[in-house]
A and B are shown apart, each in its own frame.
Chain A
Amino acid sequence: MGVVTTTLEQAVNWSRTNAMWPMLFGLACCAIEMMSAQSADYDLSRFGMELMRPSPRQADLMIVAGRVSRKMAPVLRRLYDQMPDPKWVIAMGDCCSCGGVFNNYAIVQGVDEIVPVDVYVAGCPPRPEGLIHGIITLHEKVKTEKLTEYA
């Protein structure tokens, strides 16, 4: 029985990592680097992310790229809630990891105050290769997920 579940886990995890569709959530400067990562020089389609879905109902990865202001925070949470399971969050850049350069009244100091984050990618803005490294790290994290966590 253990063999069946392990292979099943591996199969499910492999299929999830191979076709993870990111949600188009570019807020500020990191969004431009995310667009560079999507375009021809640092191609994200080789990782299965050919299209970025603007609708949260069709996406499973939310790459929060850019600074989250206090006015945007409830919108972010609502979009996260609208995404169906399984979902992952990458906090791209310094502003969403920890508030970045902006330690003031207007910016949420780290998007993990709003949504649970799986991978943090540092940089201001992170190079496209840095984002790809973050995505590969997320893939490796997904590959270690267990069947018991799926419910």
Chain B
Amino acid sequence: MPAPTLEVSFDGLKHLVSSRALEGDTLLLNMGPQHPSTHGVLRLLLELEGEIVLNCIPDIGFLHTGIEKNMEAKNYLQALVMTDRMDYLNNIGNNLVYCLAIEKLVGLDVPPRAQAVRVILTELQRIASHLVWLATSSLDLAAMSTFLYCFREREIILDIFEMCSGQRMMTSYIRPGGIWRDVPDGFEEAVRQFLRLFPRRIRQYESMLTRNPLFIDRTKQIGVLTAEQALQLGVTGPMLRATGVAFDLRKAQPYSGYEQYDFEVPTATGGDTYDRYLVRMEEMRQSLRIVEQALNRLPDGPFISDNRKFVPPPRAELGTSMEAVIHHFKLWTEGFSAPKGNVFLPVESPRGVLACYLEGDGGPKPYRVHFRTPSFAHLQALPLMSRNHFVADLVAIIGSIDIVLGDADR
């Protein structure tokens, strides 16, 4: 009996699957938007031969929020609130890239104390993001205790954020010109306590995973990406560093005072899932170094710029100065205006290069904001990395890319 021909009409994807799939020779499986291992709402169309993935077609857009269009309808400070919610594991980093872009566009200076606090919080956010990565990716590989341990450490970092800004995740703490308000009294003690505690905990995670034969079996030689393939596909961040290219924007194009701190950029040579794991674990250690240096050298001084055209005056000044009242009124009703022109500002987020393209038109609302997000770029590499692997390996690969769908879909 001849092989049955299927009448397939799935989303107009016929041109992407091979003819064997359309004849029914290989299996087309939908790894749908709601799935425990896809780290968010990602849909993958898999072409399977038995258990081996021949091709995987990612379908994103299930979390598309229209943030870029919505930011055009709000003024610059109101739009800052929406940046938190883009890559929801890197809230402070998103605030930072947007504020740095505004500061570059209007030419606003940031005092050194604000820069140091920004660095401390960004690196703590990097550690928190890597902890969630470790928790979820090892949960996918069935190492469930790491999930509980990592979230326990993350709670300490979230307590520090809550102490500074009142909110655990969507802090909006970094504002154009500096930070929202000065760090409270217990901040330094809390961060030092975390610095004392965390190296032991990293050793604990490593003792569970790094030389574990099950973990090594599931991650070595899985999802290999060479350096040329990575650069061709626009892959940056820990994934690129795991292939051997030591590209870190904190060293290459330092921002917010990163040039003052001494830290290393960890790389590996294999480009497989295990190497990405090693690179991210080492990055957590280097982040601790940066936080320690920044905290030791925390300069005194103002925590936000005093350029009253962009930064609202403190309330104490309103009683005595007429200009302060006028600036306050102008800034809280209309908002500050940015000149015509555009800037492109890349920073290093925990996932890769996060860049903000900001275009102003002389008014108080951004004319065009575009975020070049690392997860969007990295998902293009998924089909190449997962060719000829088992479905179970696909799960490990998705975990190692460290995608956040809010980042990919905006």
Complex Cα distance, B35 from A79, in Å, reads 12
A47-77: CB near B (< 8 Å → 1, else 0) gives 0000000100000000000110101100100
For the complex, what is the distance from the CA of A127 to the CA of B155, rounded to whole Å?
12
Q: Are B155 and A69 in contact (CB under 8 A)?
A: no
> Does A39 belong to the interface (CB within 8 Å)?
yes
Residues of chain B within 8 A (CB-CB) of A125 are: 168-170
Q: Given A39-B148, A72-B41, are A27 and B63 neighbors across the interface (CB < 8 Å)?
A: yes
Give the size range of B's interface with the partner. 35 or more
Using CB atoms, name the residue of chain A closest to B35. Answer: A54
- Complex Cα distance, B69 from A104, in Å, reads 8
A7-43 residues at the B interface, CB under 8 angstroms:
24-29, 31-33, 35-36, 39-41
| Residues of chain B lying within 8 A (CB to CB) of residue A66 | 63
Within 8 A of B (CB), among A94-138: 101-107, 124-125, 127
Write the B54-71 contact mask toward A (1 if CB under 8 angstroms, else 0): 000000011111110110
Q: Are A106 and B66 in contact (CB under 8 A)?
A: yes
**A67 CB contacts on chain B under 8 angstroms:** 63, 65
Known: A28-B85, A29-B169. A40 touches B65 (CB 8 A): no
For the complex, count residues of A whose C-beta is within 8 A of B: 32
Closest Cβ neighbor of B84 among chain A residues:
A29
Q: Are A39 and B62 in contact (CB under 8 A)?
A: no
Identify which of B69, B170, B409 contacts A124 (C-beta below 8 A).
Answer: B170
A69 touches B82 (CB 8 A): no
B313 proximal to A (CB < 8 A): no
A36→B36 contact, CB < 8 A: no
B227 at the interface (CB under 8 A from A): no
Chain B residues, Cβ within 8 Å of A107: 65-66
25 interchain pairs, CB-CB under 8 A? A24-B34, A27-B40, A28-B63, A29-B169, A32-B88, A32-B132, A33-B169, A36-B151, A36-B154, A36-B158, A39-B135, A39-B152, A54-B35, A67-B63, A69-B409, A72-B41, A79-B34, A101-B81, A101-B82, A101-B85, A104-B70, A105-B69, A106-B66, A124-B170, A127-B168
Q: What residues of chain A have their CB less than 8 Å away from a CB belonging to chain B?
A: 24-29, 31-33, 35-36, 39-41, 54, 66-67, 69, 71-72, 75, 79, 101-107, 124-125, 127
Q: Which 7 A-B pairs have the closest CB atoms?
A: A29-B88, A106-B66, A39-B151, A54-B36, A104-B66, A72-B62, A40-B148
